Amino acid sequence: MTLIDAGPTGSLRVAPSILAADFGALASAVHEIDSETDWLHVDVMDGHFVPNVSIGPPVVQSLRPYSTKFFDCHLMMSEPGRYLEAFAKAGADGCTVHVEVGGTESLIRDARVLGLRVGLAANPDTPFERVAPFLGDIDLLLLMTVFPGFGGQSFMGEVMTKVSAARREVEEHALALDIEVDGGIDLATTPIAVRAGANVLVAGSAIFGRPHPLDAARALRDAAMASRV
Ligand code: DX5
Ligand code: ZN
């Protein structure tokens, strides 16, 4: 199992979320945006941690031969520990678990043992203090800018306080940590998130929901680059 490199930590990246793509044509959707994609964001929903179900390891496995990009799997699951190995075997390169489900230390350890890049996610109403103790042990902090479960929701600007706090921690302690935002990211909200300190931008509707996803992905990247302070 060869893992795909995530690229330099802290660099600006666009991660299209396949949740907004046509599930009947995922391979071609992914192929179409390949040249403007850094990571591919895979939203996994278990119908328990969030009120929706989406995709699991078999889809990751089926999609793997069609993309050379880093698979950034966002596990919106109550019991992610039961599935980490299955995702690793299916071709996930990184897995992000939610801090709200607890057992964070052992989840981080288990993901490391499997060779995965490790992410920790926090819902919009989860205080920064919940994730702060783990920042030195993870590769990515995902600060949700909507309540997880559905694409197409509105960006919650108040989460930028946490994004800035995370960026300050990274700078003060020279942490090797990516700061990712997810939910309602589009051309209008990208500058807000990047200026606050986010460097990985997940976007579903703003890419796959557009008539020309490749152009939309390129425009998003340009907006992000132009906003970098
Ligand atoms: C929300 C998911 C997101 C979602 C974002 O539960 O974690 O990744 O796909 O969708 P948009 O970009 O449409 O808000
Ligand atoms: Zn997501």
Domain ranges in the chain are 15-228
pLDDT at 29 over 80: yes
CATH architecture of the domain 15-228 equals Alpha-Beta Barrel (3.20)
Evaluate whether 6 touches 93 at the Cβ level (below 8 Å).
Answer: yes
Percent of the chain with pLDDT over 90: 98
Q: Are 52 and 146 in contact (CB under 8 A)?
A: no
Active site residue 125: no
Which ligand 1 atom lies nearest to the CA of residue 155?
14
**Sequence-separated (6 or more) residues with CB below 8 Å from residue 215:** none
- Which ligand 1 atom sits nearest the alpha carbon of residue 52? 6
Catalytic choice (38, 43, 93, 139): 43
56-65 confidence digits (pLDDT tens): 999 999 999 9
Output the residue whose Cα is nearest ligand 1's atom 10: 151
pLDDT tens column, 199-214: 999 999 999 999 999 9
User: With 90 as the cut, is the pLDDT of residue 229 above it?
Assistant: no
pTM, 2 dp: 0.98
Matching residue, tokens 């981080």: 108
pLDDT classification of 40: cutoffs 50, 70, 90: very high
The answer to whether the beta carbons of residues 98 and 76 sit under 8 Å apart is yes
Helix (H, G, I), strand (E, B), or coil: what is residue 178?
strand
Pocket lined around ligand 1, Cβ cut-off 6 Å: 17, 19-20, 41, 43, 74, 146, 148-153, 182-185, 202-206
Q: Tell me what the mean pLDDT of segment 62-87 comes to.
A: 97
Q: Which two tokens stand for residue 219?
A: 């425009």
What is the end-to-end Cα distance of the chain in Å, rounded?
38
**For residues 133 and 185, is the Cβ–Cβ distance under 8 A?**
no
Give pLDDT tens digits for 217-227.
Answer: 999 999 999 99
